[in-house]
Structure 1
Amino acid sequence: MMAESKAEPSTISVTTAPSYNTAPKSGVGISLNMGYFRTGPGIVKLVQLFIAILCMACAAPAWTNGTHWFLFVVVTAFVATSLWCFIYLLSLREAINLPIDWLLTELILTALFAVLYIIASIVQITSSVTKPRPPVRLQPFYITAGVFGVFNMLAYTLGSFFLYRDWKDSHPNSSFSGSVLKRNP
């Protein structure tokens, strides 16, 4: 009797990185990409900009050194986030052919702003209630600005999470997860 061999069908699983780029792939160059702002990371960027506007409105005019620092962090983060919004809006990541890891650059910047926001918010709230105080009429606004700063820190932390997840999916063999970390006993 002849032995029949049955071959087991092999399964191949393919994972792809989530792509938030909804720009048309038809041509190379700058194109308007409004679809990005309908995704999770795009909505988070718009929330970051909106909360930053509230922070700037509540913290201006700056009467204390803590408020100067707070406004520096808020305005710097606002300008950088606005630039990233324009990069995504005009699909400049795809149009500009530079050897830049765009996701890693944005991840580092967003995580840095999350850390700076929590420090600046603590300084803002503390400088609003300790001596020398700002004028009494500005004290509630300064405390409100510090609270909005905490909310924006949470938004930047969520944005960092989205960016880290996307970066990790697009770099499966990164230097952070290789055998280098497993070599040490």
Structure 2
Amino acid sequence: MPNPKMLILRGNSAKKPTYPNEKGDNVAYPDGALHEKAAKDYATCRGYDGDVLDVSGDPLKDGDRDKNPQTVQAVLKLRGDSSYAGIYGFSGGGYDVLHILKQLKPDELKRIKLVVVLGAPPVKNGYPSKSDFESARFVSRTNPETDGIKWELVYMTNPPADASVLPKRGVDPHMFGPEWLLAQELKCRQASP
């Protein structure tokens, strides 16, 4: 039986060398920032086939994430393929996770078993916070169709400036969230040789 899939969402784009790559050197990320190898390695160690959506997590000019290209394409992908059981959002993609979950129907939400939100700390008035991504927020006592919606939530903001995954001193730790998550995840550490 094949592994379930995890949809991996990129962060915001950068046409100029703005964000550090895995070596700590600033590079452009026209399709959205993400250290793809670490994100896919995390999916693999958790038993998923990682599928990176090559669309940036940039919000629309008015800030509406419900209709931005990444959200729209992710919802279509999740609806069109029932083998998706995980969602991993980094940075801008992490914020989009909430907008995606809110657009899925109860039967679609029941398939989701793992939600990862990484590098997307609360911004406006403490929103969105970790609790906004919890599966319990999507269950309604008055709607029996929501019975059975339950996923594991992995929520991490940004690595500390002294995190061991940083390739050199003085580099912005935000982009190294995927490596930090991979290093922190007990299941992934146990799977390593």
Structure of larger gyration radius: 1
- Which structure's relative contact order is higher, taking Cα pairs within 8 Å and 6+ residues apart? 1
TM-score (norm 2): 0.25
TM-score (norm 1): 0.25
Q: Give 1 or 2: higher helix fraction.
A: 1
Q: Give 1 or 2: higher strand fraction.
A: 2
